[in-house]
Amino acid sequence: MSDPYSIFVQSLSKAVQPKGPAAAYTPVHVIKAMFVIESSKSVGRVMLSRVLGIGEGSVRTIIKRLQQHSLISIDSIGGCALTPVGREVLGQIKKGMVSSGTIDLGGMGVAYPAFAIQVSLDVSAHSVLKLRDVAIKWGAEGAIVFHFSGGKIVVPSITEDLSQLSPSMHYELMSKFKLQEGNYVLASFANDSASAEMSALAVFLYLKGIQ
């Protein structure tokens, strides 16, 4: 039997911009839509359009695409819900994501709203500058990568021990996340919370090879 996750991810590499002047969407929008659908009992096009920041025409195409892959079902009033296959695929997409949530980066001198994703992936092969570029492409003002190594929180190119540089930031991370050896925390900050979250998700998906 074919792996529905692999088939779906491979399909994301195909062109995803609708024909005509409608707003483009990307694999990140498609997967974000799945996250939103998972967290809601039933969600429609209007809500998805608002959360994703794209037009309803593009959302309609995303919904059609997800339905074609049997990842969502649509009820009589147009609400979407993940199917068992959809939950399986999203579970594969989430592999490596330990936890996520809003975070206060004030201890790093950042006053913008921020969102962070704790990952168990190996991030060492990717430069911090590249990850920051991905976040900025998605509307972030910037991004910070934290690494829990040897019982300390390291901020690459900044400090080998965050507790010495910023005790308040160290406390924030230790209280928000149950960090395990080797874990990374990818924090993205933006002018608004929605952009911070979307850009952090884009960085995570970049690490998974999905863009």
Listed residues 34, 69, 93: the one ending a domain: 93
Domain match, 77 and 107 both: no
Q: What is the mean pLDDT of residues 68-89?
A: 90
The predicted model gives 198-205 an average pLDDT of 96
* One domain for residues 28 and 131: no
- Out of 30, 65, 93, a domain closes at 93
Q: In the listed set 93, 109, 137, which residue is the last one of a domain according to the structure?
A: 93
Instruction: Flag whether pLDDT at 189 surpasses 80.
Output: yes
Q: What percentage of residues in the chain have a pLDDT greater than 70?
A: 94
What CA–CA distance (Å, rounded) separates 90 from 19? 27
Q: How far apart are CA 107 and CA 135, in angstroms?
A: 20
Model confidence, pTM: 0.91
Q: Are 180 and 169 in contact (CB under 8 A)?
A: no
Number of domains composing the chain:
2
Say if residue 1's pLDDT is above 50.
no
Of 9 and 78, the one with more pLDDT: 9
Q: What is residue 186's predicted lDDT score, i.e. its pLDDT?
A: 98
Which residue carries 């195909």 as its tokens?
14
In this prediction, residue 75 carries a pLDDT of: 83
- φ, ψ of residue 25 in degrees (nearest 5): -135, 165
Shared domain for 200 and 100, answered yes or no, is: yes
Q: At 190, which CATH number?
A: 3.30.1360.30
Q: What is the mean pLDDT of residues 191-204?
A: 96
Region of poorest pLDDT, from 10-19, 40-49, 146-155, 189-198: 10-19
Domain span holding position 83: 4-93
Q: What is the pLDDT at residue 15?
A: 54
Q: Residue 166's pLDDT is what? A: 97
The residue type of 18 is P
18 vs 101, residue with greater confidence:
101
Number of Cβ within a 10 Å radius of residue 142: 17
Report the pLDDT value the prediction gives residue 16, as an integer from 0 to 100: 55
78 and 135, same domain (yes or no): no
- pLDDT tens, 6-47? 999 988 876 555 554 444 789 999 999 999 999 887 788 888
What is the share, in percent, of the chain residues with pLDDT greater than 90?
77
Supply the pLDDT for residue 28: 93
Q: Same domain for 147 and 185?
A: yes
